[in-house]
Amino acid sequence: MRGSRLWVFACSACAFICAVVLAWGALYLPWRIFAVILLILSLAAGCLIMLREQRHQHERALHMAHQSALELMNHQRHDWMNELQLLYGYVRLNRTEQLRLCVEGIKGKMIEEGRIAKLGIPELTLFLLHVRVSGHAMPVYVHLPRQIDLTDVGLLMEGRALTDMIKEGVQVMRLAPKASADAATPLQFMIDIRSDSALGVRFLYEGQLLQPDDVRTQLDRLAAEHGVRLEQVPTSELQAGASIFEWIVPCKARD
């Protein structure tokens, strides 16, 4: 990539010099023709190099997307194999009550994944599906209380910007210093439409954050960068030390 930039710079410099010479230099006709040809060749070469670099970048991005999809499929396959093995074990042992609870759990997981798949923003869907099954030290539980199509709620920000903001927010919560006993406590992530018709993006952590003010500052900075508002929800109904942060994403008022 650096080599391509150097070649583009060289072609641009050559074209600029040719243009200056043609505009201000007193050249004989053969030299003027040579300068025009060199100018055209420099511009053409620069354009070709830029197009080739853009194509390579597109191919790299496509490869990374395919790789991410394959990793997601492998994680999902492993996750469902565990569920099936557990289900088969209960069937063999004839443990009817545990079998019923296991089936209910699988049903709930399928409903949750179906809601995520229908969010309407492919990048966000892939990220949330991946983050649910990834093997990080801090697991993430994604909860959608209802089916939401984010392309139909009048969001005042682009889907890609919302996805990037959520990715950074999850990273902030994962990297935040925590009490050693709470290091593996899951992060609960929720998206829902609020009573004021805005979109609520909530982070709930029931463990103990060692620097909650720093976490709030980082989430508030992300909110300001994307034109949303951050609220820290009171934790009176939760255990001591739990934290809830919620981004309020504005939506267009409906008629």
pLDDT, tens digit, for every residue of 42-67? 777 777 877 877 777 777 766 676 66
Largest separation between any pair of C-alpha atoms in the chain? 98
CA-based nearest residue to 248, from 176, 187, 191: 191
**What was the pLDDT predicted at 72?**
66
What's the pLDDT at 84? 83
If DSSP states are collapsed to H, E and C, what string results for 68-90? HHHHHHHHHHHHHHHHHHHHHHH
* CA 140/CA 134 separation, integer angstroms: 9
Q: How many CA atoms lie within 13 A of 41 on its CB side?
A: 8
Upper half-sphere CA count for residue 202 (Cβ side, 13 Å): 22
Each residue's pLDDT tens digit in the chain (255 positions)?
A: 555 667 666 767 776 776 776 667 666 667 667 767 777 777 777 778 778 777 777 777 666 766 666 676 776 777 778 878 888 888 888 888 888 888 888 888 888 888 998 999 988 988 888 887 665 667 888 889 889 999 888 888 888 899 999 999 999 988 888 876 666 778 889 999 888 888 999 998 888 888 888 989 999 999 999 989 998 776 655 556 678 899 999 888 655
In this structure, how many other beta carbons lie within 10 angstroms of the beta carbon of residue 24?
A: 8
Question: Please, are residues 80 and 108 in contact by the beta-carbon 8 Å criterion?
Answer: no
CA–CA dist 205, 174 (Å, integer): 10
Instruction: Give the ranges where the chain is alpha helix by DSSP (H).
Output: 2-24, 29-93, 96-117, 122-133, 159-175, 212-226
Q: Give residue 166's pLDDT.
A: 93
Q: Is the alpha carbon torsion for 86, 125, 168, 196 positive or negative?
A: negative
Pairing of strands 187-193, 140-143: parallel
At residue 37, the pLDDT reads 76
In the three-class reduction of DSSP (H, G, I as helix; E, B as strand; rest coil), residue 188 is classed as strand
For position 29, what pLDDT does the model report? Answer: 66
pLDDT the model gives residue 209: 83
Which of 212, 135, 145 has the alpha carbon at shortest distance from 173?
212
Can you give the pTM of this predicted structure?
Answer: 0.69
CA distance 56 to 220: 36
CA 186 from centre of chain: 19
